[in-house]
Amino acid sequence: MIYDAAAHAATYARSESGPAPHGDEPGATAWQMLADVGRDMIGYRELLLQLTARDLRIRYKQSVLGVLWAVLTPLVVVLAGAIIKAAYASMAGRGVATVELAGLAIKSVGWTFFIGALGFGTASLTANLALVTKVYFPRELLPVSAVVTQAVDSSIGAAALLVMFPLLGIGHMTGAAWLLLIIVLLVALTIAIVLLASCANVFYRDVKHVVQLVTSFGIFFSPVFFDLDAFGSRGVRLFAMNPLTGLLEGARLAIVTGHDLATPLIGTTGAVIWSPAYLVYAGSVALGGLLLSTIVFRRASANFADYV
């Protein structure tokens, strides 16, 4: 038991042949770290499942409306957007088209997923402090399971749209593949942001306020209530900086308008309302951000127990 160098050397010789022991790799490269995270996500998939199941159960336990909330939340966003759209339409002396509402609905589901996951995910580490300081497991599981929980929740709203659209005669099946890609990118982008926000929230409580601002007002900086062509070419360029723009507008154009996202689209004001570059940009931000935030989170999470 007393530490001796010979036994020590023998240990390392042995550990090379067998599975690697849980050592400390202070000099681990970014790639090793990403591989570690990937391995952990697979090794701990059971815990990811259990944490998600826990969060879903808690969400609907002791609530009168239960699962209905999953539909009600985006519905309220749609109503708010419909009021704004009605105001614009009445000024222009026309009515609000069903297509417009359908576009609004699809973007509302995406938006409520994003802010729901952001709010829930940012608090995921601090809300589980007792666990973080007492039991080891890959800490990524907490924010990731928060995003997965919100995804399950939002898929109920999405399923409602899936039933309603064919009934109303809206929607183009041709956009389904694009929509799938957009969903993957949206989840990746959300996980990236949530990983960063949740770990920053451990160290700085300012993050909570930032998230609150995004939740309340972020919708005005994203094309949810309005479509891109409402602002002219300059406005489009500004909006295009928001990676959510490409994803939300892309989903609307692919499903509601039936536009092929591989080709650009010029709006009535002459602005480029769609360019494949928007999607490429959103995709690079999402995937690049995911890689970066995974590394940052891994590095920071080693010290969570020391700081909280």
Give the residues lining the site for another protein (CB under 8 A). Answer: 1-3, 7-8, 11, 15, 18-19, 21-24, 26-28, 43-44, 46-47, 49-51, 53-54, 57-58, 61-62, 130-137, 203-204, 296, 299-300, 302-303, 305-307
Report the alpha-carbon distance of residue 286 to residue 190 in Å, rounded.
8
Report the alpha-carbon distance of residue 203 to residue 10 in Å, rounded.
41
Cβ at position 254, least distance to another protein in Å: 37
Cβ at position 51, least distance to another protein in Å: 8
Cβ at position 307, least distance to another protein in Å: 5
Q: For residue 96, how many other CB atoms are within 10 A of its CB? A: 16
Nearer to another protein, 261 or 300 (CB): 300
Q: Which tokens in the block code for residue 224?
A: 């949810």
Closest CA to 197 of 185, 209, 187: 209
Nearer to another protein, 186 or 295 (CB): 295
Q: Which residues fall within 8 angstroms of residue 34, CB to CB, at 6 or more apart?
A: 291, 294, 295
Nearer to another protein, 162 or 305 (CB): 305
Cβ at position 188, least distance to another protein in Å: 21
Nearer to another protein, 168 or 308 (CB): 308
Cβ at position 199, least distance to another protein in Å: 11
Kindly tell me the sign of the dihedral angle through the C-alpha atoms of 81, 149, 42, 27.
Answer: positive
Report the alpha-carbon distance of residue 108 to residue 78 in Å, rounded.
6
Q: Are 286 and 243 in contact (CB under 8 A)?
A: yes
Nearer to another protein, 177 or 302 (CB): 302
